């Protein structure tokens, strides 16, 4: 999946649409939010910003996250650190803004651990915001409620 999102999809999009490379941003929900955060931090020169809806923010510290990392990456915990947004934020952060939207009524909140990521962002002085959204859970309705509609920005001529 990493190669598809990092290499294949951008190549396809830039090959077929008049997009501005310097205006790339990435977002995702839940595990996709986790992927957006870690991908942006791994490729900071590519992305101007990153946002995530209810991301798995500190998987190495939650039972659920540890099970998933073990299933995806194997039992060698040393390989997990680069796939944990909180640990990567502590180590190097991201040069652009980070936006995290999290539902206060998210049934998975204890496993997601957004407060750990917020603490790492504050300690690093990372530009970013954690918004706790009252009354929202982990559903796609939550995502649809806070994602702004896309708008077309004309590509500069020349």
- Give catalytic residues, as residue numbers: 30, 106, 138
Q: Read out DSSP for the chain?
A: -HHIIIIIHHHHHHHHS---GGG-EEEEETHHHHHHHHHHHHSTTT-SEEEEES----GGGSHHHHHHHHHHH-S-GGGTGGG-HHHHHHHT--SS-EEEEEETT-TTHHHH-HHHHHHHHHHHT-SEEEEEETT--SSHHHHHHHSPPP---PPPP-
């Amino acid at each position: 999946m990493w190669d598809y999102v990092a290499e294949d999809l951008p190549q396809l999009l830039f090959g077929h649409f008049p997009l501005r490379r310097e205006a790339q941003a990435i977002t995702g929900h839940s595990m996709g939010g986790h992927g957006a955060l870690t991908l942006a931090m791994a490729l900071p020169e590519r992305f101007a910003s990153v946002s995530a809806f209810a991301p798995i923010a500190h998987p190495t510290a939650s039972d659920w996250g540890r099970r998933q990392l073990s299933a995806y990456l194997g039992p060698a915990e040393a390989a997990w650190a680069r796939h944990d947004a909180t640990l990567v934020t502590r180590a190097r952060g991201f040069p652009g803004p980070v936006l995290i939207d999290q539902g206060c009524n998210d049934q998975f909140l204890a496993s997601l651990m957004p407060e750990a990521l917020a603490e790492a962002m504050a300690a690093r002085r990372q530009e970013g915001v954690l918004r706790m959204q009252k009354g929202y859970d982990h559903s796609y309705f939550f995502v649809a409620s806070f994602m702004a509609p896309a708008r077309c920005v004309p590509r500069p001529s020349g």
